[in-house]
Structure 1
Amino acid sequence: MRILLGLALSTLALSTLALTTPAIAQDADIGRSHYHTHCATCHGLEGRGDGPMAGVLMIKPVNLRELTAANGGVFPLERVVKRIDGRDPLVSHGSPMPVYGDYFEGSFDVPMKAPSGQPVLTSQPVVDLVAYIKEIQRAE
């Protein structure tokens, strides 16, 4: 009986841990590749908002290197994820982001932990892209 109770408690503890600390399988190198393919045209190779298409957009692309600084020192993970995967569309693009179609949309089955501690579900390409964008943040 003790063994079964111990096993049940261990299983419960592991289940609770899995729910409270979502695993983040992210790869900033893959994200860099996604960025150069899908984002650099507007945001520039270094993320400063100075890509070759920036001049023709009605609203200048944001400097992605300044997101943390502009948000009081906290990376705005949830806003960035939802902007990229289309849940928070950007009107200046004239369509959901990215303008390249639904590459970053799809099943929202990968959790990322927001600064609030709450998980934000998105797709694996978005997780990787956000890992890269976090990596290029300006050091304060």
Structure 2
Amino acid sequence: MRFITSLAAFAALTVTTPAFAQNAEVGKRLFDQYCSSCHGLEGKGDGAMAEFLNIKPSDLTALSAANDGEYPMLKVIHIIDGRTGVRGHGGDMPVFGDVFMEEGGHDPNSYTDVLETRGRVLSLATYLESIQQ
């Protein structure tokens, strides 16, 4: 009975709680906080720190154009997350999967914390998809 009550409570929360996993507005806030200093406010690779980097930051508005008009969502997620072994900028870019996980003292063994981190990565990737030219 306790399991059924817990399951019902979970179902009620998931129905009434808005989904943030693909929220471009959340992604924009994350971009402004974590990415704009290198990639620039508009994502063109011209941030205030760009001149100090060994490898020029990518123009994130041209990802689709460089991929035959198709936004490379999975590749972008892997680069942002960084924990998968795919690193941007030859390794100079921070591993934001780790940054997001550690930022709030999250436990990498906690399913909820892992989902929150993945949601932040996906929100950021969704925002980048929205700025493609």
Give the TM-score taking structure 1 as reference length.
Answer: 0.64
Which amino acid is the alignment partner of residue 72 of structure 2?
P
Q: Distance in 2 between matches of 1:109 and 1:136?
A: 25
Shift of 1:103: 1.1
Alignment of 1:25-64 (within 5 A): 25-64=21-60
**In structure 2, what residue type is equivalent to 1:94?**
D
Percent identity, aligned pairs only, is: 38
Going from structure 1 to structure 2, the CA distance change for 1:96 and 1:66 (only over 3 Å counts) comes to same
- Structure 1, unaligned runs of 5 or more: 1-22, 111-121
- Decide which structure has the larger Cα Rg and report it: 1
Higher strand share: 1
User: Given the superposition, is the C-alpha separation of residues 125 and 25 from structure 1 closer, same or farther in structure 2, using an over 3 Å criterion?
Assistant: closer
Point out the structure with the larger helix share: 2
Q: In the alignment, residue 97 of structure 1 is paired with which amino acid? A: V
Q: How big is the shift at 1:26?
A: 1.0
Structure 2 residue aligned with 1:9: none
- Could you tell me which runs of 5 or more consecutive residues in structure 2 were left unpaired when the two chains were aligned: 1-18, 103-107
| Mapped partners of 1:102, 1:62: distance in 2 | 20
The farther-off stretch of 83-92 and 68-77 is: 83-92
Report 1:96-135 matches (<5 A).
Answer: 96-98=94-96, 102-103=99-100, 109=115, 123-135=118-130
